[in-house]
Amino acid sequence: MRLRRSAAVTMRRLQFLALRKLALPLLAVPLMLVMKSWRKRVLREDVLEELIRSPHAVLATCHGMFLHLLSFSSLVTGRGRKLVVMLSPSLDGRLLASLLSYFDIDHVLATSGANAVGGSLELIRRIRAGDIAVVAVDGPRGPCFVAKEGFLTLANAADAPLFLAMTSGRAGLKFGSWDRAHLPLPFTRVSLTLVPLRNGDECDNQESMREVQDVIDRSAPEMHSRASSASMRSSAPS
């Protein structure tokens, strides 16, 4: 039994190495070319400038919009700012980290068990040191487009200003995932809207959550489902 388990682990690691060394470069280059062809538009350039000039910040988005957001990453990294995300320490997470490196996006690894706070503390340290953390308000497993409080806790702990990034683009390749992620076709218009949010001493978490959910609902009405509305009603204080 142990020998069989060891062989399975070895095979998994060999598959990971093959994906990272062979398949990933073949995937990353076409993906970057498709993203480069998109007709990108930033609707709030003043907020983008505010984000870049902030000594440190948290940039929140929805899980399914992260793929779109990659195409705008150079607007931040090209100005000398570092983007960082927190990923699972699994092989899948490490494979994603390798892909993000093509976009100059760094990462910290989440931890589990008794040291579960380790990854969060490292991310907080990176934010305080001047990096911009990118987090999904509805991650890691949804419901889709329903914000949860983890990103507020992170921003407050790092004493960092909070920004919300919402993207839109006509659907192309759909993945059928819970977050409704999709890859727009080449030369499609892809838009980014940035919204500065209040956090920390300016308002309590419930007020911030209402503000974030309101922005999500207004920015992506075609994506907002009955499930998210039901979840909001069930989580509302009585």
Q: What is the band of 12 on the pLDDT scale with cuts at 50, 70, 90? A: low
Instruction: Determine the pLDDT at residue 92.
Output: 77
Distances (CA, A) of 190 to 72, 143, 193: 10, 24, 10
Q: Is 54 a residue whose pLDDT tops 80?
A: yes
- The pLDDT, as a whole number, for residue 139 is 78
Residue 19's pLDDT is 67
Residue 235 has pLDDT above 60, yes or no: no
> Of 43, 65, 44, 52, which is closest to residue 161 (Cα–Cα)?
52
pLDDT of residue 11 exceeding 90, the answer is no
Higher-pLDDT residue of 16 and 234 is 16
Q: What is the pLDDT, as a whole number, of residue 94?
A: 83
pTM: 0.81
pLDDT of residue 175: 86
Q: What is the pLDDT of residues 29-50, one digit of tens each?
A: 999 999 999 999 999 999 999 9
pLDDT at residue 48, as a whole number: 97
CATH number for 214 = 3.40.1130
pLDDT in tens, 108-129: 988 765 445 567 899 999 999 9
What's the mean pLDDT in 168-193?
89
CA 15 to chain centre: 26
Question: Per-residue pLDDT tens for 64-105?
Answer: 999 999 999 999 999 999 999 999 888 778 888 989 999 999
Indicate whether 237 pLDDT > 70: no
Reported as a single tens digit per residue, the pLDDT across 210-231 is 888 998 888 765 444 333 333 3
Q: Which domain holds residue 107?
A: 2-235
Q: Are 194 and 175 in contact (CB under 8 A)?
A: no
Q: For residues 221 and 213, what is the distance between their CA atoms, to the nearest angstrom?
A: 11
Residue 117, both tokens: 């706070």
Residue 154 burial (10 A CB sphere; 0-12, 13-18, 19+): buried
Q: 24 versus 164: which is more confidently predicted? A: 164
Number of domains in the chain: 1
